[in-house]
Amino acid sequence: MRFIPLSIAGAFLIEMEPITDQRGYFARSFCRDEFKARGLAYEFVQCSIACNRQRGTLRGMHYNRSAQGEAKLMRCTRGALYDVLLDLRAGSPSYRRWIAHELTSATDRLIYAPPGVAHGYQTLEDDTEAVYWMSEPYRREAQAGVRWDDPAFGIQWPISQPILSARDRAYPDFDPA
């Protein structure tokens, strides 16, 4: 695996290095020792799959507000998505900045988001599936989010009229306190 640092402090684009033959390919998508050696979260306690029926579905911007935060490792396993990270860590050199990468089922790439970084994505194709591993188990009381279109961040989404959940639509404006 190749770990490519991103402009959000502690975030990485991870490229798998497939070994191919006449059967197809084999590649590692996670290695505890490689994550640990880079100081990244390496104990993932939960894995979730999101199946999105329609192009333009937007999920985010979510984060975990518990004391330890939550690291995430994401991969698109079907279709294509526009994956966004937003740094909400007040002391971070990339505080309040966002980045985006396109992830598709045809590419062998994953995104690693460190604790304190909000995550969201918008589907670029119908029937897009995303798989993500989390370093903390789901606890409703620790879940939080910021609005996908909050002017405090200016995130540029590829599809202007997204399909949203009521929860994602109702997040208030960002309050740095």
| CA–CA distance, 168 with 145 (Å, rounded to integer) | 8
| CA–CA distance, 15 with 27 (Å, rounded to integer) | 10
Q: What is the pLDDT of residues 87-131, one digit of tens each?
A: 999 999 999 999 999 999 999 899 999 999 999 999 999 999 999
Give the pLDDT band (50/70/90) at residue 172: confident
| CA–CA distance, 65 with 68 (Å, rounded to integer) | 8
Query: Does any domain span residue 105?
Result: yes
pTM, rounded to two decimals? 0.95
Query: Does any domain span residue 143?
Result: no
Active-site pick, 25, 42, 62, 95: 62
Q: Where are the alpha helices (DSSP H) in the chain?
A: 32-37, 166-170
Three-class secondary structure of residue 32 per DSSP: helix
The yes-or-no answer on residue 62 being catalytic is yes
Q: Which domain holds residue 118?
A: 2-18+27-136+156-167
Query: Does any domain span residue 45?
Result: yes
CATH assignment of the domain containing 41: 2.60.120.10
Q: What is the pLDDT of residues 4-21, one digit of tens each?
A: 999 999 999 999 999 999
Residue 7 confidence (pLDDT)? 98
Nearest one of 158, 75, 142 to 113, comparing CA atoms? 75
The yes-or-no answer on residue 101 being catalytic is no
Active-site pick, 63, 112, 121, 132: 132
Q: Which helix (H) or strand (E) element contains residue 54?
A: none
DSSP state letter for 171 = P
Q: How many domains does the chain have?
A: 1
Residue 120 confidence (pLDDT)? 98
Task: Write down the mean pLDDT value for the chain.
Answer: 95
Query: Does any domain span residue 142?
Result: no
Query: Does any domain span residue 84?
Result: yes
52-56, 95-99, 128-132, 171-175: least confident range: 171-175
**What does the block give as tokens for 73?**
């490792």
Q: What is the pLDDT of residues 137-164, one digit of tens each?
A: 989 999 999 999 999 999 999 999 999 9
For CA atoms 144, 136, 49, 114, the dihedral sign is positive
